[in-house]
């Protein structure tokens, strides 16, 4: 273990958990930047820690959301759970592909891909325009795929 004091790990966990629950994200969007900035782990290590933290973080947040009184009329819960199940199944099947790709590219390229994803999602949220926001998100995802393929084909380097 590195020489970073335990309180920093606790502070990053509290900040990451709170912001993840507030924003409704699995944690990586919040936790990865916090880990790389304040715990001095590499991008790849931060991704691994984030993936390990997703399950307990998401379960805790989902339970609170499920038990919290709703502001909207009842009846929307079933479609949300069905959509969630579909998302969960596809994400579980696709996650190993992403991990394999992340191990084939270097840290700098991994940071770029993560930055592209965060930028695209952030722009979409800021604009809140259904058509334009979705176009930006799709373009950001497409750019991320292109940069990832380009990195794999032309700049593969052995790292850590």
Question: What are the structural domain ranges in the chain?
Answer: 1-68, 74-100, 105-160
141 and 25 Cβ atoms separated by less than 8 Å: no
Other C-beta atoms within 10 Å of 133: how many? Answer: 17
Residues in the chain: 160
Chain segment 66-121, per-residue pLDDT in tens: 777 666 666 555 555 666 677 778 778 888 888 888 888 888 888 888 888 777 77
Higher pLDDT, 81 or 24: 24
Q: Contact, 14 vs 3, CB < 8 A?
A: no
pLDDT above 50: residue 159: no
Residue of 139, 56, 54, 145 lying closest to 97 (CA atoms): 145
Beta carbons within 8 Å of 20's beta carbon, 6+ residues apart: 26, 27, 29, 30, 31, 57, 61
16 pLDDT band, cuts 50/70/90, is confident
Residue 20 has pLDDT above 50, yes or no: yes
Best mean pLDDT range from 13-22, 125-134, 140-149: 13-22
Structure tokens at 83: 């959509």
Q: What is the value of pTM for the model shown?
A: 0.61
């Amino acid at each position: 273990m590195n020489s970073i004091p335990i309180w920093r790990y606790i502070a990053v966990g509290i900040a990451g958990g709170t912001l993840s629950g507030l924003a409704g994200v699995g944690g990586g969007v919040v936790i990865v930047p916090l880990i790389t900035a304040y715990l001095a782990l590499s991008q790849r290590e931060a991704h691994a820690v984030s993936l390990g933290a997703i399950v307990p973080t998401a379960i805790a947040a989902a339970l609170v959301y499920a038990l919290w009184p709703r502001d909207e009329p009842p009846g929307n819960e079933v479609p949300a759970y069905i959509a969630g199940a579909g998302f969960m199944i596809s994400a579980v099947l696709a996650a190993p592909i992403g991990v394999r790709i992340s191990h084939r590219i270097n840290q700098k390229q991994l940071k770029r891909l993560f930055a592209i994803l965060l930028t695209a999602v952030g722009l979409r949220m800021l604009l809140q325009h259904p058509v334009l926001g979705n176009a930006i998100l799709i373009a950001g995802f497409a750019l991320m795929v292109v940069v990832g393929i380009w990195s794999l084909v032309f700049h593969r380097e052995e790292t850590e």
